[in-house]
Amino acid sequence: MVLNPKSPIGRCSARLRRLLEIEEEMALQWRVKIIAPERNQHSSGRRWLLPASLGVPGPFSSRPVSADGKVSFHFSHETVTKGPGGVSILSSGSRRRYLAAGAAAEHEAYITRPEAVPTISAADFEEYAAGPCAVGGLDGRTAAIFSNISDDPEKRRDLWLKAHLHEREANPDRLVFKANFLKPSDWRRLASSEGLGAEVRDIAARMAEIPAGTSKVKGDAILEVDLVEGARVKKAAASIVGPWDRKRLPIRLSKGRGGRTQFRLTAEFPDGIDAAARVRITQAYCQYLAEFGVMYTAAIHAPDEHNDERNHHLHITYYDRPCSQLPDGRWDFEVREKVEGQHNRYRYPHRQPKISELARTDGAANYRDHRALVVTRMREHFADICNAELTKVGVQRQFDPGRYTQMGIEQEPTQPLGPRAAPLEAAGIATTVGMSNAEILWSFRLEQERKECEASRCERQNLRKKIASAAAPLEPSNEKSALLKFERELAEASKVLDDNEHEIAFFRTILEMAYARPEKVSDTCSRILATLDAGKGSARDRKDRALIEARLEEADGFFDQILAIQERSLGEINPIVDQVHTARKKIRALSTEVEPYLIADSSVAKKMIMQDQPISSAMDIGPKGEDQSRAKFDNLMDRILRELVVLPPTESQKHFTVRGISKDEYLMLSSSGFAPLAQARLKKIASIQHERVAQAIRLLEEHGHQTLADLAETESNARRALLHLKVYADHPLLKRSCASMQEPIVSESGAQDGPERGSEPIEAIPARSEKTDLIDLDSKLASEKEAANHARDLTIRDFVTFIRDNPGVIIEEHDGSLRLSRESAGDWKISADVFSEEPLVKEALADRARANLEIEQREAAAANDARCEQHDQRLRARIMKEIDCAGVRPVFWNGERWEVTTASADLAEIANSWQGHPDLQAAYKASDRIWAGRESLDQKKAMETVSSSFDLTAKGDGLKLLRDAKADDPGYSAALLKRHQENTGGRGKR
Higher pLDDT, 195 or 214: 195
* pLDDT computed for residue 319 by the predictor: 93
* pLDDT computed for residue 761 by the predictor: 32
Most confident of 13-22, 375-384, 563-572, 737-746: 375-384
Sorted by sequence, the CB contacts under 8 Å of residue 294 that are 6+ apart come out as: 263, 318, 319, 320, 322, 355, 358
Alpha helices (H) in 314-431, listed in sequence order: 367-392, 404-407, 418-426
* pLDDT computed for residue 5 by the predictor: 73
> Average pLDDT of 555-567?
86
Question: To the nearest 10°, the Cα dihedral for 712, 713, 716, 719?
Answer: 40
Whether residue 749 is predicted with pLDDT greater than 80 in this model: the reply is: no
- Cα–Cα distance for residue pair 297/147, rounded to 1 Å: 4
> Average pLDDT of 886-906?
73
Q: How far is CA 434 from CA 16, 43, 418, 425, 564, in A?
A: 21, 21, 10, 7, 27
Higher pLDDT, 256 or 972: 256
Nearest-CA neighbor of 722 among 700, 744, 742?
700
Q: How would residue 752 be classed by pLDDT, with cut points 50, 70 and 90?
A: very low
**Three-class SS state of 143:** strand
**Maximum pairwise Cα distance, the chain:** 136
Q: How far is CA 165 from CA 86, 91, 159, 316, in A?
A: 8, 19, 10, 21
Which of 215-229, 375-389, 872-886, 957-971 is predicted least confidently?
A: 957-971
Phi then psi for residue 151, to 5 deg, are: -75, -20
DSSP for 85-141? GG-EEEEETTEEEEE-TTHHHHHHHHHT-TTTS-EEEHHHHHHH-SS--S-B-TTSE
Question: Are the beta carbons of 400 and 383 closer than 8 angstroms?
Answer: yes
- Cα–Cα distance for residue pair 171/182, rounded to 1 Å: 26
CA atoms within 13 A on the CB side of 906: 2
> Average pLDDT of 670-674?
72
Query: Which three-class secondary structure string do you get for 431-479?
Result: CHHHHHHHHHHHHHHHHHHHHHHHHHHHHHHHHHHHHHHHHCCCCCCHH
Sorted by sequence, the CB contacts under 8 Å of residue 876 that are 6+ apart come out as: 914, 917, 919, 920
Mean of pLDDT over the chain: 76
Residues paired with 318 in a beta bridge: 263, 296
Q: How would residue 229 be classed by pLDDT, with cut points 50, 70 and 90?
A: confident
- Cα–Cα distance for residue pair 554/548, rounded to 1 Å: 10
Sorted by sequence, the CB contacts under 8 Å of residue 40 that are 6+ apart come out as: 50, 51
* pLDDT computed for residue 744 by the predictor: 44
Q: What letter would DSSP give residue 864?
A: H
Phi then psi for residue 686, to 5 deg, are: -60, -40
Residues paired with 221 in a beta bridge: 177
- Cα–Cα distance for residue pair 304/115, rounded to 1 Å: 9
Nearest-CA neighbor of 731 among 702, 773, 774?
774
328-371 confidence digits (pLDDT tens): 889 999 888 888 878 778 888 889 988 888 876 555 456 777 88
* pLDDT computed for residue 365 by the predictor: 55
* pLDDT computed for residue 361 by the predictor: 56
Higher pLDDT, 55 or 139: 55
Q: How far is CA 541 from CA 209, 397, 498, 545, 553, in A?
A: 65, 36, 52, 6, 17
Residue type, 404: Y
Sorted by sequence, the CB contacts under 8 Å of residue 489 that are 6+ apart come out as: 586, 590
* pLDDT computed for residue 283 by the predictor: 92
Q: How would residue 42 be classed by pLDDT, with cut points 50, 70 and 90?
A: very low
- Cα–Cα distance for residue pair 413/404, rounded to 1 Å: 7
683-739 confidence digits (pLDDT tens): 888 888 888 888 888 888 777 777 878 777 767 677 778 887 887 777 877 777 765
* pLDDT computed for residue 318 by the predictor: 94
Which of 197-201, 226-230, 461-465, 789-793 is predicted least confidently?
A: 789-793
* pLDDT computed for residue 762 by the predictor: 26
* pLDDT computed for residue 805 by the predictor: 78
CB atoms closer than 10 angstroms to residue 552: 18
CB atoms closer than 10 angstroms to residue 903: 11
N residues, the chain: 990
Question: Are the beta carbons of 868 and 454 closer than 8 angstroms?
Answer: no
Nearest-CA neighbor of 86 among 304, 258, 264, 217?
258
Question: Are the beta carbons of 401 and 380 closer than 8 angstroms?
Answer: yes
- Cα–Cα distance for residue pair 729/706, rounded to 1 Å: 18
Q: How much of the chain, in percent, has pLDDT values that exceed 90?
A: 7
Whether residue 564 is predicted with pLDDT greater than 70 in this model: the reply is: yes
> Average pLDDT of 483-502?
88
783-829 confidence digits (pLDDT tens): 545 655 666 777 788 788 888 877 777 887 766 678 787 777 777 76
**Three-class SS state of 388:** helix
Sorted by sequence, the CB contacts under 8 Å of residue 520 that are 6+ apart come out as: 58, 60, 425, 426, 428
* pTM score over 0.75: no
Which of 83-97, 372-386, 455-469 is predicted least confidently?
A: 83-97
Q: What letter would DSSP give residue 713?
A: T
Angle between helices 227-241 and 184-191 (to 10 degrees): 120
Q: How would residue 184 be classed by pLDDT, with cut points 50, 70 and 90?
A: confident
